[in-house]
């Protein structure tokens, strides 16, 4: 019996690579959903480890709300150039222009909910049978119960009561035509695991994850980046703050946290001592206790 | 730091969700906004304190009914270890969920209500632990506060459990008296039970050996994907990508490729930009062979000196997981690691009454039924027996009409 160094990050990494290769082996037309956030950036790194020196057996798909942080788009384009893989962009603006969805009104309007329609349209257009996503079970209570291979019906719906048992490390990806599977290779990672992995692998991230000066306004007790995408009125006072973002989403629903963290080490110690969960900075989850469960049933990531 | 995966068997009535909530709460793993949501919830304990059980109830129906329906995965870590909890429902109607949660665990926590002692459900949960081959068992005698922290009651319960453990051949069984509600012996040792000299639950979980799959005689790697860049500079590159299930592959090791039986030796092991001398259990790697052999997804690379079982007739334990009963007249798909082939259940040997452990002859298998069957596979599987090598001794059954996972199989013997 030999001994070898195989720590928790190695184990999480090996599991994720195994899952990515199962997707490659079991599906005809998979895709990797890329948001520009740290979790999907981690997925790209894991895909490199799973398939290099070959090409990825899937394109990257970005659902573009049109309300992105510019830093995310710059990062995305630079990364695509570096890895030399195909990028498909599904545009929420296009869905709006085609009249498929209607822009929300009012102060808390966000395009976050509209993404689902664009996502489902993109899946249908390219006939994707599996979509790899960076969701983690520690993020939220409904996600804690979702399988690694999560089957969606032709309407993109997740049915929590009809989930397939998922045993050992055997993933059943068999589906009927029109259905698709959402695959979550980093299900068993926590936010801290992702950061520790990014540090270990020396992975570059969009600059908004690190502390910077930004004009913000306060909404429902949260700091929001002032931007043309936010419906502002005279009551909103713009103040300049030293902030960073813990998740990367639509500018109109992703709140900033005040932070001085400029290095990954700073971020890791900040998270280790933090008392607020990552999705605590997501307005979209604050709507109700079952907000995520409801959105997932509707076809959300 | 490594990972310990454990699962908890017990019902809400035994305080299972409270126990998990307590572990998370006392290790500071609950964040302020989650705690806020908890405090604003309408569900409270009788004395007005927050109900920690809510932490693990994820789905709306579960919150409404105050029960666990599905497996929930929870995460926490201490300085010593990262923990993954599979929180499973305990009622008999959710046996399949328990089997699912237990399948990836290397430790089981069995909860016993100190007021009731060893009951039918304890037998059932312990049977599942033995069926799934979980190495370590911690029996938590919970609600000690309700029995006056009595050492006598604790001792009489563990005496009873020891008989059961012996009957089920559970190897490593440990006992801890706790009160999840009050936090006794969960994270800190309790001063209300000074007669108990063992460790707290958390301390035990931090110290226990994790499963070591590194039995070198069982070197196995199912091929998931063949990497062939087919570019000018990598024209002849052919890498077999997979995760080592068990054992170790070293450079130059003689290997056999199944099912073809072709033989070769390991030329190179790659892991992204590294070229290690060995690939160990658990690692996802890419292997290059010295000879040009035809290998594709579904094939298994194994140590040539320790071949797996070779039979298309396999005696196996089956747990049925679908609402539609087993139909022995039709073909199912069997998925064993990266290999899928057709199969039939050719014979039902017996069914087990998991409340009493009695075996009965049977001609049907319905949801949550467990028993012994003979499986006949179309192609040969490169399998080991579950007791020898859990990672390569299990498979799932898929109903090709619905594509649902309908059964879990644990291989017990090759027939012939």
Query: In chain A, which residues have their Cβ closer than 8 Å to the Cβ of B41?
Result: 289
Q: B245 and B330: one domain?
A: no
Q: Residue A249: name the closest of A11, A16, A35 by CA.
A: A35
Taken in order B320, B324, B329, B331, is the CA torsion positive or negative? Answer: negative
- The answer to whether residues B241 and B364 belong to one domain is no
Q: Which runs of E-coded beta strand occur in B78-205?
A: 81-87, 107-113, 136-142, 172-177
The CA distance from A152 to A158, in Å, is: 5
B308 within a domain of the structure (yes/no): no
Tens of pLDDT, residues B368-384: 999 999 999 999 999 99
A288: closest chain B residue by CA: B37
- CA-nearest residue to B73 within chain A is A144
pLDDT greater than 70 at residue A276: no
pLDDT above 90: residue B319? yes
What is the ipTM metric for this complex? 0.93
**Residue A33: enclosing H or E segment and its boundaries?**
strand A30-33
If asked whether residues B220 and B203 sit together in one domain, one would say no
**pLDDT at residue A291 tops 80:** no
> Is the same domain home to B385 and B284?
no
CATH assignment of the domain containing B364: 2.40.30.10
Tell whether B274 and B321 lie within a shared domain: no
User: Residue B366 falls within a domain, yes or no?
Assistant: yes
Measured between alpha carbons, how far is A284 from B34 in angstroms, rounded to an integer? Answer: 15
Query: Where residue B194 sits, what CATH number does that domain have?
Result: 3.40.50.300
The residue to which tokens 């199989």 are assigned: B409
For residue B144, which of B109, B167, B165, B117 has the smallest C-alpha distance?
B117
- Asked if B397 and B365 sit in the same domain, the reply is yes
Q: Which residue has the higher pLDDT, A124 or A280?
A: A124
pLDDT band of A29, cuts 50, 70, 90? very high
Tell me which residue range forms the domain holding B243.
216-303
The beta strand positions in B271-393, using DSSP E, are 278-280, 284-289, 300-303, 313-320, 332-336, 339-353, 358-360, 370-377
Predicted confidence (pLDDT) per residue in A41-99, tens digit: 999 999 999 999 999 999 999 998 888 889 999 999 999 999 999 999 998 888 888 88
B281/chain A closest Cα distance in angstroms: 10
Mean pLDDT of B205-212: 82
pTM: 0.92
Q: Which residues of B touch A137 (CB under 8 A)?
A: 73, 75
Residue with tokens 């929590």: A160
CB contact under 8 A, A176 and B284: no
What is the average per-residue pLDDT within B283-300? 96
Show which of residues 126-185 on chain A sit within 8 Å of chain B, judged by CB atoms.
137-138, 141-142, 144-145, 160-161, 163-170, 172, 174-176
What sign does the CA torsion over B331, B335, B336, B341 have?
Answer: positive
Higher pLDDT, A300 or A221: A221
Please, is A98 exposed, middle or buried when counting C-beta atoms within 10 Å of its C-beta (0-12, 13-18, 19+)? exposed
For a pLDDT cut of 70, what percent of chain B falls above it?
A: 89
B277 neighbors B269 (Cβ within 8 angstroms): yes
Other CB atoms within 10 A of residue B1 CB:
12
Kindly state whether residues B195 and B222 are assigned to the same domain: no
B303, B323, B351: which is the final residue of a domain?
B303
The overall average pLDDT reported for chain A is 86
Residue finishing a domain among B207, B234, B262: B207
B268 shares a domain with B250: yes
Separation CA B77–CA B127 (nearest Å): 29
State the average pLDDT for chain B. Answer: 90
Q: Cα distance from B181 to chain A (closest Cα, Å)?
A: 22
- Residue B50 clears pLDDT 70, i.e. is over it: no
In chain B, the largest separation of any two C-alpha atoms, in whole Å, equals: 77
DSSP conformation letters of A134-189: ---GGG-TTGGG--SEEEE-TT----GGGPPP--TT-------TT-EEEE-TTTT-
Q: Which CATH superfamily is domain A8-193+290-297 in?
A: HUPs (3.40.50.620)
Inter-chain touch A14–B100, beta carbons under 8 Å: no
A285, pLDDT greater than 60: no
And the tokens for B323? Answer: 């609402």
Say how many Å lie between the first and final Cα of chain B, rounded.
45
Where along chain A do its domains lie? 8-193+290-297, 205-285
Which pLDDT belongs to residue A287? Answer: 47
Burial class (CB in 10 A: 0-12, 13-18, 19+), A169: middle
How many helices (H) and strands (E) are present in chain B, helices listed first? 7, 22
- Residue B59's pLDDT band, with cuts at 50, 70 and 90, is low
Indicate if the pLDDT at residue A283 is higher than 60.
no
**Is the peptide bond preceding residue A53 cis, with omega within 30 degrees of 0?**
yes
DSSP letters, B61-86, are HHHHHTS--S-EEEEEE-SSEEEEEE
Reduced 3-state DSSP string for B212-273? CCCCHHHCEEECCEEECCCCCCCCCCCEEEEECCECEEECCCEEEEECCCEEEEEEEEEECC
Determine, yes or no, domain membership for B406: yes
Sort out which chain A residues have CB atoms less than 8 A from B212's CB and list them: 1
Shared domain check, B99 and B22 = yes
Round the CA-based radius of gyration of chain A to a whole number and report it. 19
Q: How far is CA B53 from CA A100, B20, B31, B178, in A?
A: 42, 8, 15, 16
B393 plus B287 within the same structural domain: no
Give yes or no: residues B285 and B179 share one domain.
Answer: no
Nearest Cα to A190, choosing from A139, A241, A154? Answer: A139
What total of structural domains would you count in chain B?
Answer: 3
Report the residue from B34, B60, B284 with minimal CB separation from A17.
Answer: B284
Given a cut of 80, is residue A286 above it in pLDDT? no
Q: Could you check whether the bond before residue B415 is cis, i.e. omega within 30 degrees of 0?
A: no
Chain B neighbours among A 66-105 (CB < 8 Å)? none
pLDDT-derived band at A1, boundaries 50, 70, 90: very low
Distances from the Cα of A220 to the Cαs of A283, B90, B125, B179, in angstroms? 9, 41, 47, 40
Q: Give B40→chain A minimum CA distance, Å.
A: 11
Overall average pLDDT of the A255-283 stretch:
78
% residues pLDDT > 90 (chain B): 71
Set of chain A residues whose Cβ sits within 8 Å of the Cβ of B297: 25
Same domain, B232 and B335: no
């Amino acid at each position: 019996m030999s001994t070898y160094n195989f720590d928790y990050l190695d184990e999480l990494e090996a599991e994720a690579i195994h899952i990515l290769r199962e997707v490659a082996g079991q599906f005809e037309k998979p895709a990797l959903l890329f948001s520009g956030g740290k979790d999907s950036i981690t997925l790209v790194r894991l895909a490199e480890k799973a398939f290099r020196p070959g090409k990825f057996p899937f394109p990257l798909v970005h659902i573009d709300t049109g309300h992105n942080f510019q830093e995310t788009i710059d990062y995305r384009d630079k990364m695509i150039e570096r890895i030399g893989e195909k990028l498909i962009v599904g545009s929420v603006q296009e869905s709006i222009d085609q009249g498929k969805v209607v822009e929300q009104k009012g102060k808390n309007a966000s395009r976050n909910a509209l993404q689902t329609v664009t996502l489902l349209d993109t899946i249908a257009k390219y006939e994707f049978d599996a979509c790899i996503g960076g969701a983690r079970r520690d993020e939220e209570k409904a996600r804690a119960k979702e399988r690694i291979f999560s089957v969606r019906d032709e309407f993109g719906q997740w049915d929590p009561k009809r989930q397939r048992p998922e045993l050992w490390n055997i993933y059943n990806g068999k589906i009927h035509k029109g259905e698709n599977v959402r695959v979550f290779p980093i299900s068993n990672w926590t936010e801290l695991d992702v950061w520790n992995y990014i540090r270990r692998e020396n992975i570059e991230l969009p600059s908004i994850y690190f502390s910077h000066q930004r004009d913000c306004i306060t909404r429902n007790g949260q700091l929001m980046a002032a931007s043309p995408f936010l419906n502002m009125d005279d009551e909103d006072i713009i103040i300049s703050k030293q902030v960073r973002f813990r998740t990367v989403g639509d500018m109109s629903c992703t709140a900033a946290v005040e932070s001085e963290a400029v290095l990954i080490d700073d971020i890791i110690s900040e998270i280790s001592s933090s008392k607020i969960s990552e999705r605590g900075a997501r307005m979209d989850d604050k709507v109700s206790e079952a907000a995520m469960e409801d959105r997932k049933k509707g076809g959300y990531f | 730091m490594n990972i310990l995966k454990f699962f908890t068997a017990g019902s809400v009535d035994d305080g299972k969700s409270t126990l998990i909530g307590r572990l998370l709460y006392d290790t500071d793993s609950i964040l302020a906004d989650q705690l806020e949501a908890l405090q604003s919830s309408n569900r409270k304990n009788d004395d007005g304190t927050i109900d920690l059980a809510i932490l693990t109830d994820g789905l709306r129906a579960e919150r409404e009914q105050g029960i666990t329906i599905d497996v929930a995965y929870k995460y926490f870590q201490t300085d010593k270890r990262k923990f993954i909890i599979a929180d499973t429902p305990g009622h008999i109607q959710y046996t399949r969920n328990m089997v699912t949660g237990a399948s990836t665990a290397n430790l089981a926590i069995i909860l016993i209500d100190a007021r009731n002692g060893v009951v039918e459900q304890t037998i059932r949960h312990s049977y599942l632990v033995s069926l799934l081959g979980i190495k370590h068992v911690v029996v938590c005698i919970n609600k000690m506060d309700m029995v006056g922290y009595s050492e006598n009651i604790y001792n009489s319960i563990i005496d009873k459990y020891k008989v059961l453990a012996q009957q089920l051949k559970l190897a490593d069984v440990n006992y801890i008296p706790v009160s999840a509600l009050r936090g006794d012996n969960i994270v800190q040792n309790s001063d209300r039970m000074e007669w108990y000299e063992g460790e707290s639950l958390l301390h035990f979980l931090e110290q226990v050996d994790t499963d070591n799959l590194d039995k070198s005689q069982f070197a196995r790697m199912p091929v998931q994907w063949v990497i062939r860049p087919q570019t000018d500079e990598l024209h002849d590159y052919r890498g077999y990508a997979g995760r080592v299930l068990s054992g170790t592959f070293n450079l130059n090791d003689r290997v056999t490729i199944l099912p073809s039986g072709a033989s070769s030796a390991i030329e190179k092991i790659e892991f992204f930009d590294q070229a290690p001398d060995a690939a160990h259990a658990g690692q996802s790697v890419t292997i290059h062979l010295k000879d040009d052999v035809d290998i594709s997804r579904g094939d298994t690379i194994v140590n040539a000196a320790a071949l797996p079982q070779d039979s298309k007739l396999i005696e196996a334990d089956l747990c049925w997981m679908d609402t539609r009963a087993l139909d022995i007249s039709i073909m199912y798909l069997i998925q064993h690691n990266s290999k899928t082939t057709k199969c039939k259940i050719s014979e039902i040997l017996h069914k087990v009454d998991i409340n009493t452990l009695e075996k009965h002859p049977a001609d049907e298998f319905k949801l949550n039924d467990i028993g012994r069957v003979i499986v006949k596979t179309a192609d040969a599987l490169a399998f080991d027996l579950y007791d020898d090598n859990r990672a390569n001794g299990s498979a799932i059954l898929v109903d090709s009409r619905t594509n649902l996972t309908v059964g879990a199989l644990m291989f017990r013997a090759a027939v012939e």
